[in-house]
Amino acid sequence: MSELTEASVRAEVRAWLEANFDPDLGLVEWRNKLIDGGWAAPTWPVEWFGKGYSDPLGRVVDEEFDRIGAVTVCRVGIRNLAAATLLAHGTDLQREKFLRRILTGEDTWCQLFSEPGSGSDMAGATTRADLKGNKWVVNGQKVWTTSAHHAQYGLLLARTDWDEVKHKGLSFFILDIEQAGVDVQPLRQMNGHASFNQVFMTDAEISPEFMVGAPGEGWKIATTTLMHERRGADSLRRYAEAKERPGRIYAEEKVEIDHQLEPYKWYPQRGGRADLLIERARETGKIEDPAIRQEIAKVLTMLKTAEWTALRARAAQDQGRPQGPEGSLGKLAASNVARAAARVHTEIAGADAMLTGEDGPMEGVIAEVLISVPAISIAGGTDEIQRNIIAERVLKMPKETRVDTDRPFRDVPRNTVS
Amino acid sequence: MQFSFTEEQEEFRGILRRFLEDKSPTTEVRRLMETDEGYDPEVWRQICQNLGLTAVHIPEEYGGQGFGFVELGIVVEEMGRALLCAPYFASTVLAATAILNAGTEEQKQTLLPDIASGKTIATLAFAEDDGRTGSDGVAMTAAASGDGFTLDGHKSFVLDGHTAGLIVVLARTPGTAGDEGLSLFAVKGDAPGLDRSLLQTLDPTRKQARLAFKNVEAQLIGDEGTAAAPMAKTLDQATACLANEMVGGAERLRESALEYSQLRVQFGRAIGSFQAIKHRSADMLLEVEMAKSAAYYATAAADDDAENLIPAVSLAKAAAADAYTQAAITTVQMHGGIGFTWDNDTHLWFKRAKSSEVFLGTANEHRERLIENWDAMERSAA
């Protein structure tokens, strides 16, 4: 086989798309074609629908799709985290059953990790799975579960051994959400949206072949999932946008995006919308105010340096170098940007910052920024946990003395409040 | 835009770091900062002759090595890390760059080889007593006289101005204002009528002088009255370098605070095991890494002569100013009382941080310039 280069990959995907892409195909039909051609997830291994490409070559493929507006596989939600976890730790049976329908978008997944009693301390999960006969029987409650209300499957972390120490008594399962023992209830947030859910499991059942890894390996496997989640948070995020083009496939994609992205529609606002600051300052005339100019410049400085830091991390990774500290900072930087941007949006809006909805600036977008940014420094690991991780793993500072890892989990003090 | 260093650049950095760790330990920094000259002639000779650092960004046709601002940025970042006491920023970064931007072909042939070889230590004199860096701050006059010009007035905040053998001076044709009538001149360090006095600087590791000119003979560099644009460009390129120097110092502070937190024991444990210290350390890492990204972006933009050079430089300087000063404050704090003593090395960098915060423009001035030029940043991002 000749050596792969950016140019050869570009030429190959371009020729393939020209020969195969047809806007009048059905969405799932097209994605199955993509999967069979190896273009659905070219960075995946060859045995599992991919071409084994490096990340930079994967981006070349994306660029070629973008260039002609070709529809890609479904990437919304945590489906990619589920796929990465199954590729790393799943059985062939699990990969065979789930990976294709993850790519086609026919199945939606959710992540059943956090609980009311274990947020930052996720390994303290008390949802239990007990082997009864030939089934695992699950009882407990999960929370902050994005998309559970339209998911078919969940990645579940549950305790299978209470006599083991905390991190070793957990196991990892694939849970069928659409069964009688699973009850999904939306959780309304302070900004009025309900992107998250509470998931109650009462004698929900799982066949043994849907355990991922071995009993007791749950924490290790969840760490893989979380590593991919954090990597996603660190990378330059792109929100899916429906393309306004004629053709059956675009119409079907729009329906999918509207449906799948519904829980995420306020996400740009939780990021602080620093991109709107200059525009808003011009509209309101505040751009003439030297104090406001300073504040905007501070936010834009944070925004650009975070972007360039992510590009540095990516460049090092592309060269095959060990990742430097710059790769672990994106999430904390995003929190700082969001908080600062919301503060400056408030200053720019003045009295209008008291208004929301159609009465508020930009038909409520600014109000949504102001009441959504508190989420970004909590979701996916609080700022405090991020700082601990940076300090202990990147800077190698001594770990905190712990009182929860030296004894069986059943003897560890636990929450009486949630 | 390139977002990573090549292997050769990383190797170059490694060589520099080892050299500077050897030649510029804090015992040497402390010795040299007490002298008037402020540098060690033997170490300077090695910098020029063995390592060729004074030639880095000067093109080969003028006796240089023909590298760019990215490499120059690596050099000053490492020098900032080691707090090297030497006239490098004055001679190579400021003076050589000004001559490259403003000089005629013949002048570059005449002046640059000696700066590249280190035979001549040069500097650039632009600010006056009010410290402003822009054209409006220039009151010094240059009057035509015979073959050349004579300069009258004064310059201040001139890096190594008391020792430099060649001073590149910004002055104006009498009766002009603003960008009009500005020219650059070459003046010998020992020229009659030039009175040089060492200033008492907050940061003793970087020497500055006030220069008084009375009827001093000077040679015009470039064409008369056309120095505003090349001078502005020189300051942008030098500011990009300064940001790199600053992040080098900031990183050194960050590392020293981290090291101390692992050694210092209170309440029966290393203070680095307390979250209060961990969180400060994580924040400091974040700020320093973000500022490094901006500094590297700025020197890369200088090499590309990018449309967004001005906003990139201003962003980098503002970010470096905040990160360096904050790192210095945090490092003293993490050391506790010992960090406030003369014997502890932190104050050496603290003072460089404070001084660099305002040199070539304060953070507020650069933030204002960033907003004025934001459209150029947006255009080049698109």
Domain count of the fold of chain A:
2
Q: How far apart are CA A306 and CA A332, in angstroms?
A: 10
Q: Does the pLDDT value for residue B334 go beyond 60? A: yes
| Mean pLDDT score, B271-281 | 97
Same domain, yes or no: A274 and A345: yes
pLDDT of A4 strictly over 70: yes
CA pair distance A142, B364, nearest whole angstrom: 48
Residue A236 has pLDDT above 70, yes or no: no
Query: CB under 8 Å to A407, separation ≥6 — which residues?
Result: A165
At residue A108, the pLDDT reads 94
Domain with CATH 1.10.540.10 in chain B: 7-120
Residues from chain A that touch B296, judged by Cβ atoms under 8 A, are 308, 312
Tell whether domain B7-120 is in CATH 1.10.3720.10.
Answer: no
CATH 1.20.140.10, chain B: domain bounds: 229-381
Contact assessment for residue A153 and residue A393, using Cβ atoms and an 8 Å cutoff? no
Confidence of residue A229 (pLDDT cuts 50, 70, 90): confident
- Residues of A with CB below 8 A from B281's CB? 390-391, 395, 397
Provide, rounded to the nearest whole percent, the portion of chain A with pLDDT above 90: 79
**Structural domain boundaries, residue A201:** 107-234
Q: Do the chains contact at A304 and B294, CB–CB below 8 Å? A: yes
Of B170, B39, B165, which Cα lies nearest the Cα of B111?
B165
Residues A334 and A278 in one domain: yes
| Residue of B270, B283, B285 lying closest to A394 (CB–CB) | B285
Band of the pLDDT at A240, cuts 50, 70, 90? low
- What φ, ψ does residue A29 adopt, rounded to 5°? -60, -45
> Using one digit for the tens of pLDDT, what is the confidence trace for A60-94?
999 999 999 999 998 888 888 999 999 999 999 99
Residues forming CATH 2.40.110.10 domain(s) in chain B: 123-225
Q: Is the pLDDT score of B315 beyond 60? A: yes
Q: Which residues pair with A308 in a beta bridge?
A: none
Residue carrying the six token digits 């013949």: B106
**Secondary structure class of A139 (helix, strand, coil):** strand
CATH architecture of B123-225: Beta Barrel (2.40)
At residue A7, φ and ψ (nearest 5 deg) are -65, -40
* Residue A52 forms part of a structural domain: no
Residues A331, A212 share a domain? no
Last residue within a domain, chosen from A234, A254, A286: A234
Among the partner residues A304, A321, A387, nearest to B315 by beta-carbon distance = A304
Query: Do the domain assignments include residue A196?
Result: yes
Q: Strands B166-172 and B122-125: what pairing?
A: parallel
- A50 inside domain: no
**Residue A367 has what pLDDT?**
97
Q: What is the ipTM of this complex?
A: 0.95
Check whether A106 has a pLDDT greater than 90. yes
Q: What is the pLDDT of residue A116?
A: 93
Q: Is B376 left (phi over 0), alpha (psi -120 to 50) or beta?
A: alpha
The separation between CA B280 and the C-alpha centre of its own chain, rounded to angstroms, equals: 28
Which residue of B285, B297, B319 is in closest CB contact with A325?
B285
Separation in Å, CA A206 to CA A153, A158, A160, A247, A313: 11, 12, 13, 41, 40
Provide the token pair at B42.
């033997």
Across the interface, do A388 and B269 touch by the CB < 8 Å criterion? no
Determine whether the interchain pair B289/A306 forms a contact, defined as Cβ–Cβ distance below 8 Å.
Answer: no
User: What CATH number is given to the structural domain containing A326?
Assistant: 1.20.140.10
**Mean pLDDT of chain A, nearest integer:** 92
Identify whether A96 is part of a domain. Answer: no
Taking chain A, what is the end-to-end CA distance rounded to the nearest angstrom?
58
pLDDT in the model for residue A51: 96
Do both A112 and A230 map to the same domain? yes
- In this structure, is residue A398 part of a structural domain? no
Do residues B301 and B313 touch, judged by C-beta distance below 8 A?
A: yes
Same domain for A209 and A111: yes
The CATH code of the domain that includes A193 is 2.40.110.10
Do A391 and B291 count as a contact with CB atoms less than 8 A apart? no
Measured CA to CA, the distance from residue B179 to residue B240 in angstroms comes to 22
**Which positions in chain B touch A336 (Cβ < 8 Å)?**
286
Query: Looking at the domain assignment, is residue A2 inside a domain?
Result: no
Q: Residues A201, A135: one domain? A: yes
The CATH T-level fold of domain B229-381 is Butyryl-CoA Dehydrogenase, subunit A; domain 3 (1.20.140)
Residue A234 has pLDDT above 80, yes or no: no
Q: Are residues A226 and A275 in the same domain?
A: no
At A418, the pLDDT band (50, 70, 90 cuts) reads low
Residue of A nearest to B322 (CA): A298
Checking A253-260 for CB contacts under 8 A at 24+ apart, the result is A253/A27, A253/A71, A256/A27, A256/A74, A256/A76, A256/A105, A257/A76, A259/A150, A260/A74, A260/A76, A260/A77, A260/A105, A260/A108, A260/A147, A260/A150
- Based on the fold, state whether residues A114 and A226 are members of the same structural domain: yes
Q: Is residue A229 situated within a structural domain?
A: yes
Domain boundary among A234, A255, A284: A234
Q: What is the pLDDT of residue A381?
A: 85
Within an 8 Å CB–CB cutoff, is residue A319 touching chain B?
A: yes
Q: Which of B164, B162, B155, B184 is nearest to B172 (CA)?
A: B184
Nearest Cβ partner for A301 among B3, B292, B319: B319
Which of A225-234, A239-248, A323-332, B125-134 bottoms out in mean pLDDT, i.e. has the lowest? A225-234
Quote the pLDDT of residue A2. Answer: 59
Residue A89 lies in a domain: no
